[in-house]
């Protein structure tokens, strides 16, 4: 790849290196320059222009990032479409991140052009949370580096995987001595129950017994008979040896002690055992508190269906000093617990499919009900939107609403009726915006008569969307032609609600030009709507 000054009129096909203003229009960094762009740059006096010209052995940044991210994304994860050389990998469900740290290091050592950053191994993540980001640093990467990165990312297994949380039904044994207060036992059970519920599991049963070997063994046996797993044992006194009362009770119940102690503080005095294939944990006293401790790390893995071996415990020392991290300040410091910043996540983007118009140009028929490739035009649109990350999906109806609902077909979409549909397209947009849930980052406004907008285009728009970086309105472009759908950030919802007529959004796009991000696309479907009989006939012949 060459990067440097290039005569403006020779820059066709090159990638713009820095954002420029050209005749009142913003040419953003990374723009693939067309012949018209090159002429406009020269006319505006941007000559030469700093740009990148790819060579035959180069792979463009988005293409390279997509390939590596797809190879790295394992079960229960999803790689989003790359934008500006960045492809993010997200969790599809709640669980523990499984990251091959050795392969991460090896991949990042391959070439300075190729990088991947991940969350920490075994981090507890929520649905939609970002697990990793692949970033191609320059505008392209050498093909040999990309191929090597793909090999590192995919073998012997995907580099980033997820162990989904499972619904465990745990049992709890608490022992007491003469001076044990009931309030301590109640606090312990509450802390355990809340921990389990946060992990999507439950406390099935609990037993309180005296602090002796036989009583502990009997209580464990009762919980085993109820099919509780894991079985958690809180002793009235701390476990100080493998031969102490709690481990002796586990052995007396027919189990084995696998490991005692862990290099995590708080949590040092944790004990792991097994009763058949059922985990049994001697829980350290610090777990009576809701504060993070070593027991949490073990419980999270068990609730994700992972085994916790002696070696696993002994490898927890790196990062295992939990006492003084900001989420667990020392009492003597006088600090209050500080809220942590939210984890990076996939933006919450809904989709509105506008399907309430009169189809006045279709000469009496409703274009959305017309058959195309064996199904109504609207159903193509709905299926493509449902295959994208957009959620929720709302179909705004109006004219012939019942027939339109039927044409949309089955799926998770909801419907919103616009009684003012005859007034114009903007009324359907307003009806849809008013029906959206309050916690969204943005909305894709899709037209019900554009059946050839693929899920990939929708994914690219969502991947490009980043209000923090100024990309709060995203739309597809083919060459220099803008198309649909348009993704609007939630900060513009109030402005969308006051639009009138069928062309108000175009004026708003001009007013908000600094927020607009044009997403290059080679699909003609983003330019073509089917609103006349002639357009439908031409599309049927393709």
pLDDT digits (tens, 9 = 90+) for 271-297: 999 999 999 999 999 999 989 999 999
Element housing 69 (H / E) = helix 61-72
Confidence at residue 345, expressed as pLDDT on a 0 to 100 scale: 85
Tens digit of each residue's pLDDT (9 = 90 or more) over 478-511: 988 999 999 999 999 999 999 887 666 888 998 9
Q: What is the pLDDT of residues 330-377, one digit of tens each?
A: 333 333 344 456 778 889 999 999 999 888 777 667 899 999 999 999
Share of the chain above pLDDT 90, in %: 84
User: Which burial class, exposed, middle or buried, applies to 286 when counting CB atoms under 10 A from its CB (0-12, 13-18, 19+)?
Assistant: buried
Peptide bond into 230 cis (omega under 30): yes
Q: pLDDT grade, residue 166 (50/70/90)?
A: very high
Reading the block at residue 56, the tokens are 């035959």
Q: Above 90 in pLDDT, residue 384?
A: yes
Mean pLDDT of 93-109: 96
| Cα–Cα distance for residue pair 132/89, rounded to 1 Å | 5
Flag whether pLDDT at 60 surpasses 60: yes
Q: Say how far apart CA 47 and CA 14 lie, in whole Å.
A: 14
With a cut of 90, say whether residue 235 has pLDDT above it: yes
Work out the pLDDT band at 255, boundaries 50, 70, 90.
Answer: very high
DSSP string, 82-150: PBTTEEEEEESSSEEEEE-HHHHHHHHTT-TTEEEEEPPTT-EE-TTBEEEEEEESSSEEEHHHHHHHH
- pLDDT-derived band at 424, boundaries 50, 70, 90: confident
Lowest mean pLDDT among 84-93, 135-144, 417-426: 417-426
Averaged pLDDT for residues 411-422: 95
Predicted pLDDT of residue 333: 36
CATH annotation of 58-164: 3.90.1170.30
Contact present, 464 and 488 (Cβ < 8 Å): no
Measuring CA to CA, which residue among 292, 188, 187, 304 is closest to residue 235?
A: 188
Q: Could you tell me the CATH superfamily of domain 2-53?
A: Molybdopterin biosynthesis moea protein, domain 2 (3.90.105.10)
Taking residues 519-530, what's their average pLDDT? 92
CATH superfamily of 349-540: Spore Coat Polysaccharide Biosynthesis Protein SpsA; Chain A (3.90.550.10)
Residue 341: the pLDDT is: 61
Mean pLDDT, range 224-242, rounded to an integer: 97
- DSSP one-letter string for 322-353: -TTSTTS--GGGTPPPPPPPPPPB---EEEEE
Answer yes or no: is pLDDT of 81 > 60: yes
Closest of 284, 262, 259 to residue 273, by C-alpha: 259
Hey, where are the domains in the chain? Answer: 2-53, 58-164, 169-333, 349-540
What integer best gives the mean pLDDT of the chain? 93
Say if CB 74 and CB 94 are below 8 A apart.
no
Residue 375 has phi, psi (to 5 degrees) of -150, 160
The confidence score (pLDDT) of residue 325 equals 52
Q: What pLDDT is stored for residue 504 in this prediction? A: 61
Per-residue pLDDT tens over the stretch 112-151 = 999 999 999 999 999 999 999 999 999 999 999 999 999 9
Q: Indicate the pTM of the whole model.
A: 0.86
pLDDT in tens, 443-479: 999 999 999 999 999 999 999 999 988 899 999 999 8
Indicate the fold that domain 169-333 takes in CATH.
Answer: Molybdenum Cofactor Biosythetic Enzyme; Chain A (3.40.980)
Average pLDDT over residues 205-219: 98
Q: Is the CB of residue 162 less than 8 Å from the CB of residue 95? A: yes
With tokens 């199904």, the residue in question is 375
């Amino acid at each position: 790849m060459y990067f440097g000054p290039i005569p403006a009129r020779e820059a066709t096909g090159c990638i713009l290196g820095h954002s420029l203003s050209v005749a009142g229009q913003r040419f953003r960094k990374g723009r693939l320059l067309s012949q018209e762009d090159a002429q406009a740059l020269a006319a505006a006096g941007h000559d030469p222009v700093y740009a990148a010209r790819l060579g035959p052995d180069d792979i463009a940044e988005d293409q390279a990032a997509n390939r590596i991210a797809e190879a790295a994304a394992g079960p229960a994860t999803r790689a989003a479409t790359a934008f500006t050389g960045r492809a993010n990998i997200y969790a599809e469900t709640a669980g523990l991140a499984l990251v091959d740290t050795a392969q991460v290091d090896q991949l990042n050592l391959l070439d300075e052009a190729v990088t991947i950053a991940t969350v920490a191994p075994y981090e507890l993540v929520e649905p939609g949370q970002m697990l990793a980001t692949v970033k191609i640093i320059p505008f392209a990467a050498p093909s040999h580096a990309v191929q090597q990165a793909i090999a590192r990312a995919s073998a012997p297994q995907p580099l980033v995987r997820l162990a989904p949380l499972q619904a465990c039904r745990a049992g709890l044994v608490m022992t007491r001595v003469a001076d044990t207060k009931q309030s301590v036992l109640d606090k312990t059970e509450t802390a355990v129950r809340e921990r389990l519920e946060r992990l999507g599991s439950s406390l099935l049963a609990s037993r309180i017994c005296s602090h002796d070997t036989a009583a502990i063994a009997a209580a464990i046996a009762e919980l085993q008979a109820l099919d509780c797993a894991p079985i958690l044992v809180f002793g009235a006194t701390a476990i100080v040896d493998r031969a102490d009362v709690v481990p002796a009770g586990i052995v007396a119940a027919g189990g084995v002690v696998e490991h005692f102690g862990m290099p995590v503080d708080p949590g040092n005095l944790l004990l792991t055992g097994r009763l058949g294939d059922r985990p049994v944990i001697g829980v350290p006293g610090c777990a009576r508190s809701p504060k993070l401790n070593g027991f949490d790390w073990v419980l999270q893995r068990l609730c994700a269906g992972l085994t916790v071996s002696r070696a696993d415990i002994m490898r927890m020392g790196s990062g295992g000093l939990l006492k003084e991290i900001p989420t667990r300040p020392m009492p003597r410091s006088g600090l209050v617990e500080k809220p942590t910043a939210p984890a990076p996540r996939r933006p919450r983007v809904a989709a509105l499919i506008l399907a309430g118009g009169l189809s006045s140009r279709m000469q009496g028929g409703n274009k959305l009900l017309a058959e195309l490739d064996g199904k109504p035009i609207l159903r193509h649109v709905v299926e493509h939107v449902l295959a994208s990350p957009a959620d929720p999906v709302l179909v705004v109806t109006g004219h012939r609403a019942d027939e339109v609902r039927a044409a949309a077909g089955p799926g998770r979409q909801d419907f919103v009726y616009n009684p003012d549909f005859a007034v114009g397209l903007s009324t359907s947009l307003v009806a849809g915006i008013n029906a959206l849930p309050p916690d969204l980052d943005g909305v894709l406004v899709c037209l019900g008569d554009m059946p050839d907008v693929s899920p990939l285009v929708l994914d690219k728009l969502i991947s490009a969307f980043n209000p923090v970086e100024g990309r709060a309105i995203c739309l597809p472009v083919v060459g220099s032609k803008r198309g649909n759908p348009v993704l609007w950030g939630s900060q513009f919802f109030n402005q969308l609600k006051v639009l009138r007529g069928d062309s108000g959004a175009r004026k708003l796009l001009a007013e908000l030009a600094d927020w607009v991000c044009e997403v290059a696309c080679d699909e003609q479907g983003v330019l073509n709507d089917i609103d006349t009989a002639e357009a439908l006939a031409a599309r049927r012949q393709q």
